[in-house]
Amino acid sequence: MPDPSAYLFPPVDPLRTGMLQVDELHTIYWEEVGNPQGIPVVFLHGGPGAGLSVQHRRFFDPRHYRVILFDQRGAGKSTPLGETRGNTTQLLVSDMERLRELMGIDRWLVFGGSWGSTLALAYGQTHPERCLGFVLRGVFLCTTREIDWFIDGARWFHPEIHEEFAAVIPEAERGDLLQAYYRRIMDADPDIYWPAVRAWSRFEGRRVFLMPQPEEAPCDTLDLGLGRLEAHYMANLGFFEEGQLLKNVERIAHLPAVIVHGRYDVICPPVTAWQLHRHWPGSVVKMVPDAGHGAMELGISRELVAATEAFRRFGRF
């Protein structure tokens, strides 16, 4: 079976990198890749809190795209790591605008996966005039139903993983695992929050791919950023009104969009991608028949590259 990287463009180093101070507390890391005169595109990582990977640069032909990538507040190389104060979707949207202005970009293609798709939609619905189109993977609309599925739906497909996740919490508190974890993750005592963020990160990581993958060693940067920020955003419903992103699709419905989703995605169920597509008549949905949630799964990486190549050639999908 081909390696998923076979469909990606070769590894590429950034043209430049920097740190942008967005308020008195937060400074975000950014990098620019590809052709400075190319089609501008902004890459939005998942989580929230997962941060960037060097693989993320490889969905775009560097000869034709000017790719802007950044670690969102509290993630990756941005500082302070795992910080939830001054960390809302609306502030992330404002960070994107500051970054766009810093780069001198008028409009850009918006590319986001998982939580990145959530942020992409929030940004587009706030600033439709700044968007060329959207590439969305593993769609997540941050509704109560999706959050409940993320926490408790796991028991239907991965009962042993869910049981291990719940076992960290005293039995009396297991009726609301999100709030039980949130209390521990936000505790100031490292002896309390480290076991919680590591358990949270592992709970998600073991369900990402359709086929089991070798478990990676714990990574403090990923575990703290992902565990703390996912719990923070889920506990606050993403700082949205219920159903907001679906209700406001009309604001961006005139723009082209491709939606790539794994048929067996148990992190973000396919029904969400289908609902978004049905509300967005001009969108194209690619339901990958042999994939879960991971961007680096074979079929998903192939469709993401196909999407950026289609937009490069035709300005549509």
Q: DSSP letters along 220-268, please? A: HHHHHHHHHHHHHHHHTGGGS-TTHHHHTGGGTTTS-EEEEEETT-SSS
Distance CA(92)–CA(49), nearest Å, equals: 12
Q: Which residue matches tokens 């960070």? A: 95
pLDDT at 315 over 90: no
Position 235, amino acid: A
pLDDT at 89 over 60: yes
pLDDT given at position 157: 95
What domains sit in the chain, N to C, each tagged with a CATH number? 4-141+239-314 (3.40.50.1820), 144-237 (no CATH)
DSSP state of 80: S
pLDDT given at position 5: 72
pLDDT in tens, 139-169: 999 999 999 999 999 999 999 999 999 999 9
Give the residue numbers marked as catalytic: 114, 265, 293
Share of the chain above pLDDT 90, in %: 93
| 79, β-bridge pairs | 27
pLDDT in tens, 161-197: 999 999 999 999 999 999 999 999 999 999 999 999 9
Distance CA(316)–CA(243), nearest Å, equals: 27
The pTM of the full predicted model, rounded to 2 decimals, is: 0.97
Of residues 145 and 6, the one with the higher pLDDT is 145
| 39, β-bridge pairs | 65
Calculate ∠ Cα 66-71-73, nearest 5°.
135
Q: In the chain, how long is the greatest CA-to-CA distance?
A: 58
Of residues 147 and 7, the one with the higher pLDDT is 147
Distance CA(90)–CA(119), nearest Å, equals: 9
The CA distances from residue 285 to 14, 135, 262, 279, 304, in Å, are: 31, 10, 11, 12, 11
Q: How confident is the model at residue 4 (pLDDT cuts 50, 70, 90)?
A: low
pLDDT at 94 over 80: yes
Q: How confident is the model at residue 215 (pLDDT cuts 50, 70, 90)?
A: confident
H-run or E-run covering 129: none
Mean pLDDT of the chain: 96
> Residue 168: which residues within 8 A CB-CB, separation 6 or more?
181, 195, 196, 199
